[in-house]
Amino acid sequence: MPVQFPPIILASKSLRRQELLTLMGLNFKVELKDVDESYPDGLSPAEIAVYISEKKAKAFTGDGEIVITADTIVALNNEILGKPTDRRHAQEMLKKLSGSKHEVFTGVTIVKGDKVHSFYDRTEVLCKAVTSEEIDFYIDNYQPFDKAGSYGIQDWWGIVVVERIEGSYTNVMGLPTEKLYNELLKFI
């Protein structure tokens, strides 16, 4: 690693975010705190992602450690597609994404002592049209119940259904790593 960062806490149970930080060569530990992820009406998808990320960050007080929190929002025509509550909900979301273009926003907050910085990234994702049978196959085999929008860009949906993205691939996974690295450099 060309840069030595102070100890990092990743406040996320997302295995994808953990994998991305590992691939970035960062040493970190995971700490979780329960945070209410509700948000006020009237916010744009980008504002929602940042708002929830900042809410998560406020639950932490560090002693020189860097804390990273994040929240990913999938938006289709400004409708927020969160994590599905059940199979039927996942089917509904994936049907909406089929044959359409949507946006993925990830809000990230970095905290070290009194210094707090938030930012977001936006990626546009175009999905080809899929059948109900393909949606059921995806749900049965990939269990996307912990993912915003009911899909993972790194699994079957991303490999077979996503036709094109404009923006950061890792942002769609849940953490815009290229932006995160540049922002972390400001904290050392």
Residues with catalytic function: 71
Cα–Cα separations (whole angstroms), residue 67 to 16, 57, 126, 158 = 17, 7, 33, 29
**Maximum pairwise Cα distance, the chain:** 52
Give the side-chain half-sphere CA count within 13 A for 10.
20
In the chain, the DSSP E strands lie at: 8-10, 28-30, 66-76, 79-81, 101-112, 115-127, 162-166
Contacts of 130 (CB under 8 A, 6+ apart): 94, 98, 99, 161
Kind of pairing, strands 28-30 and 66-76? unpaired
